[in-house]
Chains A and B, each alone.
Chain A
């Protein structure tokens, strides 16, 4: 068993090295990436540390640290076309605007963004042109990253983009067609986002649903940059997108928030925050009673953490809102109350109220039936019969 695993690992390493060599030949060794990092205040040492964290995040053994670092140096060379559809641009903003950008952010910043609606010099016609140029130049080679959902009602007229005012649907189809790989990031692109919440007047759909493709989805509102960079690194290392479950990469979405939560011990101990800012909140107790949806949510916020492990939503004191789960606006709401407070679909009532009402109805019905039975059996008795049995002789 052990030998088999060792052999597998060796094969994997060999394959990975061969692939990195090939990539380097194709794109050339990235020059200046380390200097660029240093310019942004990141030493080589912290870059290597980050590589180790990243390989752990990808569930790879430590021998991959060097290779992850190498892949990270190649990453900015991969042509990327980054599209925006119906969304708040929060996913891009959360990376661009970080005061202390993490290495993952910098890599995303520094990606060879051939086209990115938010950060590009040209505008109007010229922006359009640069998109088509990039698509032609890197046909079949670029990675398409999609952000935002696609409105489909009314022929997709709810979203029109660019100087030619094409609909989002047309734009997406066009660009995705020639892409090497498609990655949908953020809740909107993955599952439709808030605009697809009930009643969804624009008919917004996720990228996969709208186009009928099978892209890797990285949900979250916003997504964690380490998950996206992890996916890209995985792609560089092994030449394929990471294994997924329900479309989400297993390395990032394989476990629930609840399973890796730093407050979990308080959950098991039965120690809960009851209102914001109470004594229990100061002690860092579990947030289950103030609406934490960690038990229902698959994500890795607690493991690599956010912004290079500075914090994560639960660590900072607010419960999980389940932003990486499908239709969380509908299914996890109200976000700051326990999931019990969710109304039952169709009847707009809370399960417990319905339950108590059912019990009440049952008791009322039974009471009425009991009283009824009492008088009815008396009257039957008076007629000289018994309610119990047929053809009985009155002895």
Chain B
């Protein structure tokens, strides 16, 4: 039995992935703190602590990282080393492939596993597209809507920055109506993203364990191995 080494993720994609992990974890933890301030520092002297301030700063920095990553991701979607859209289009055969992969997760039969060669399978690509784009874009929009009230011409470094925030935030008002619901949506979507991350990690470990093709090393070295056909 011989293996072939295939290149799956280039450096940019891997950096993007790991930065996303760091920013996501930072945003998740700080986000929970903002929602439930569980650490309470009661010195009574506000000059001594700036906990919420720093936590929110980290949350915003993480969010800005995620936004930039989202833009890079969108670029890679069309022009990357392995352009994502090729994993999703043509629509029909890829959808079939995704369903087949879903079936394979339950039958584990080799004949159910679609032939993907050196590219990502359609199910993964669909999942990433759906969750990363939909939810991260929605997180961005709702986040901007919540940030925009405190952004004025006086405290943004970018000229006209306040219009960027309120303009993008306006989309959230169209979608959810009011600030309280926007905030709730942001919170619910955070949970969905967390569940998505958990399932994603599980599936990658599962592939590593069942397929034994080194799927986990894709995200570290960029390579995996596929068994050569007869």
Contacts and interface: CB of A to CB of B under 8 A. Distances in A.
Interface of A: 255-256, 259, 265-272, 274, 279-280, 283, 285, 288-289, 293, 295-298, 322, 325-327, 331-332, 338-340, 342, 344, 351-352, 354-355, 358-359, 362-363, 366, 369-370, 372-373, 376-377, 380, 385-393, 395
A297 B41 CA distance: 26
A293 B202 CA distance: 38
B160 interface: no
A274 B40 contact: yes
A269 B52 contact: yes
Contacts of B191: 351-352, 354-355, 358-359
Contacts, number: 158
Given A288-B37, A385-B110, A271 B42 contact: yes
Given A293-B180, A296-B180, A387-B211, A358 B49 contact: no
Contacts of B36: 289, 338, 340
29 contacts: A269-B46, A269-B53, A270-B37, A270-B39, A271-B40, A271-B41, A271-B43, A271-B44, A271-B49, A283-B42, A283-B44, A296-B179, A325-B179, A325-B180, A331-B180, A339-B183, A340-B187, A358-B191, A359-B191, A359-B194, A362-B195, A363-B198, A369-B206, A373-B209, A373-B210, A387-B211, A388-B227, A389-B211, A393-B1
Interface string B206-229: 100111110000000000001101
Nearest to B55: A270
Contacts of B198: 359, 362-363, 366
Contacts of A392: 1, 110, 227, 230
A380 B177 CA distance: 53
Given A270-B39, A270-B51, A355-B188, A366 B110 contact: no
Contact of B149 (A255, A339, A391): A255
Main secondary structure of the interface of B (DSSP, over half): helix
Given A376-B107, A395-B1, 6 more contacts: A272-B37, A288-B37, A354-B188, A355-B190, A369-B206, A377-B210
Closest 5 CB pairs of A and B: A270-B51, A355-B191, A387-B108, A268-B53, A331-B180
Interface range, B side: 35 or more
Nearest to B173: A246
Given A268-B46, A388-B210, A392-B227, A289 B188 contact: no
Contacts of A342: 180, 184
Given A355-B191, A362-B195, A339 B46 contact: no
A280 B210 contact: no
Contact of B108 (A351, A376, A390): A376
Contacts of B199: 362, 366
B64 interface: no
A291 B169 CA distance: 24
Contacts of A298: 149
A283 to B, nearest CB: 5
Contacts of B206: 369-370, 373
Contact of A359 (B43, B48, B195): B195
B42 A279 contact: yes
A372 B41 CA distance: 48
Contacts of A272: 37, 40
A293 B183 CA distance: 11
Nearest to B192: A358
